[in-house]
Amino acid sequence: MNQGQYFSPEGLEKLKKELEERKYVLRKEIATKIVEAKDLGDLAENAEFTEAKEMQAFNEGRIEELDSILKHAQLIFKPSGGIVEVGSTVKAKSPMGEHTFTIVGASESNPVQGFISNESPLGQAFIGQIKGNEIEVRTPKGFVKYKILEVL
């Protein structure tokens, strides 16, 4: 059973817009390219036709993927308590300094901007913790300790 991925309202809206664009705009553009390529003649040696059909296959695959993701998506609501959960912003201190992380679903993660996946080792270690707790996370360079300073 597919449990779905977590999304912020903004992330979910972005996927919905992509789906609409692919269904109602890109599909028509690709269909036009296929018709134009057919008009060029022999389909066996028609690079334009082959390319348009490949674009069509990719687009239809992505539409199916987006439909499935949206069907099973779990919306992240702003957490209400002081416990770290998906959607929480965590201020933490490590030997490298203070950090601010927001726990998001895997599709929206961007570690450089401080958005970490709930499925990542760091995200998993933060989930369920409260202010004042210390966690230890295994990284490629060894273990790193974090002290949770604040849960927003």
* 105 and 51 co-located in one domain: no
7-37 residues labelled b (16+ CB within 10 A) or e (exposed): bbeebbeebeeebeebeeebeeebeebbeeb
Q: Which residues contact 55 (CB under 8 A, 6 or more apart)?
A: 30, 33
Task: Convert the pLDDT of each residue in 80-137 to its tens digit.
Answer: 778 999 999 999 999 999 999 999 999 899 999 999 999 999 999 999 999 999 999 9
* 139 and 95 co-located in one domain: yes
Helical axes 47-72 vs 9-21, angle rounded to 10°: 150
Last residue within a domain, chosen from 50, 75, 100: 75
Task: Convert the pLDDT of each residue in 17-65 to its tens digit.
Answer: 999 999 999 999 999 999 999 888 777 788 999 999 999 999 999 999 9
Domain extent, residue 51, equals: 6-75
Domain count within the chain: 2
Residue 1 has pLDDT above 70, yes or no: no
